Amino acid sequence: MNYIVIDLEWNQDCEGKHGKKHEKLPFEIIEIGAIKLDEQKNTVGQFNELVRPSVYKSMHRITENMVHIHMEDLQHEKTFPQIIRKFLKWCGEDVIFCTWGNLDLIELQRNMKYYHLPLLSDGPFPFLDIQKLFSIAYEDGKSRRNLEYAVDHLQIEKDIPFHRAFSDAYYAAKVLEKIDRDTEDYCSYDVCSLPAEKKAEVYKTFADYSKYISREFEDKTIAIADREVLSTKCYICNRPTKRKIKWFTPNGKHYYSVSYCDRHGYLKGKIRIKKPIFKNGGSEAVYIVKTLKLISSEKVDEIIEKRDHAREIRKIRRKQSVR
C-alpha cells in the first residue's frame, strides 16, 4: 500500500457565490500536487501539474494573491480530464489518499463529476486527514491548525515556499512522516459516493468507538425509522444491548441514546443526519452517520440531563404555541 498525499489549488467565480457559474462548479482546480510514500513513508514519487481551466477565464484575486498563478500561465497546460487521468495512472493501485483537512477530495471529485468522469470510488472510502492526525498526535484532537503551524511545530525545514499544490503536499507528507501512530485507527471517510445499497453500508470499528455510514434515504423520517440506523448492538461483542435511554434529539439533527451491554458496559449512541454532498435523489435526501462509544456511568448522567433539558424545552414551546 502507498500513501498519496495530495493538495490542490483552485480558482473561483470572481462574481462570488451569486455568480452564474458558481452553482455548477464553485471551485475549479488549476493545480494538482502530490507525493507518493511507500508503507515505511519513504518518498517514492512526485506529481506536479498545472491545469488549463475551462469554466473561469479570469483569476479570483484571492487565488492570484495567495497562489501567485496567473491565467496566462495556464493557457498551454492540459485540461482537467487529461491531467486527472494522468494523475490516477500515476497513483496506481492500492493507495490511501491523504490530505490536509477534509476539502480536497470533495473538490477533486466535484471537478471529476463536472466532467462526467467516474468518481474515486463507488462508495465511502477511508482517507487520512493529516490536519486531524496532527491534532490527535500533538494537541487535543479537536483543534485544526494550518499547515505552516504544524511544520514549525515539528521543526521541519522550510526549504520551499508554501501555498502551491506541490509544496503543500510536500510539507503535509513531511508532517505525516513524523506522526508515529497506527494511522488506520484514525482514518476519515470520504462520502462523495454513498453506499449504493444496504449491503454496501460501512461498519468500521476503531480503537475506542465504532462508525456506521448508511445508504441514502429519501428523507429524514424514513432514515430515522430504519432498524439498522436505530440498532445499538455492542460493537465489541456484537450482541444485543438493553436500551437505557431511548433515542432523543435536542435539535433535530443529532440523536442520542444509551444502551447497556452485559459484558462491556454503557454505550453511547449518536446519530447525525447529513445531507449528501452530491445530489442524486430528491431535495429531502439524507444519510446517517452513527457512532457508538463505551462510556462511564457519570457520562450516562450527563446524557440523562441533556435529555431532560430537551424535554423541558419542548414542553415550553408546546405551551407557547397553545397560547
Q: Cell 461498519 belongs to which residue?
A: 203
CB closer to Zn ion out of 262 and 305: 262
Choose between 234 and 286: whose C-beta lies nearer to Zn ion: 234
Footprint of Zn ion on this chain (CB under 5 A)? 234, 236-237, 261, 263-264
Q: Closest CB to Zn ion among 213 and 234?
A: 234
What one-character DSSP code corresponds to residue 78? Answer: P
CB nearer to Zn ion: give 242 or 317: 242
Cβ 294 to Zn ion shortest distance, Å: 9
Q: Looking at residue 174, what DSSP letter applies?
A: H
CB 32 within 8 A of CB 10: no
CB of 232 to Zn ion, least distance (A): 11
In our burial notation (b when 16+ CB lie closer than 10 A, e otherwise), range 97-109 reads bbbbeeebbbbbb
DSSP structure class, residue 277? S
Strand partners, 260: 242, 266
Q: Among residues 84 and 234, whose Cβ is nearest to Zn ion? A: 234
**130-138 and 165-178 helices cross at what angle (nearest 10)?**
40
**Closest CB to Zn ion among residues 95, 236:** 236
Give the nearest distance from C-beta 260 to Zn ion in angstroms. 9
DSSP state of 51: -
Q: How far is the CB of 234 from Zn ion (least distance, A)?
A: 3
Q: How far is the CB of 250 from Zn ion (least distance, A)?
A: 27
Dihedral Cα 212, 216, 217, 221, nearest 10 deg: 50
The CB-nearest residue to Zn ion is: 234
Q: What is the DSSP string of 137-160?
A: HHS-SS----HHHHHHHTT----S
Contact criterion met (CB below 8 Å) for 36 and 46:
yes
Residue 228: CB minimum distance to Zn ion, A: 18
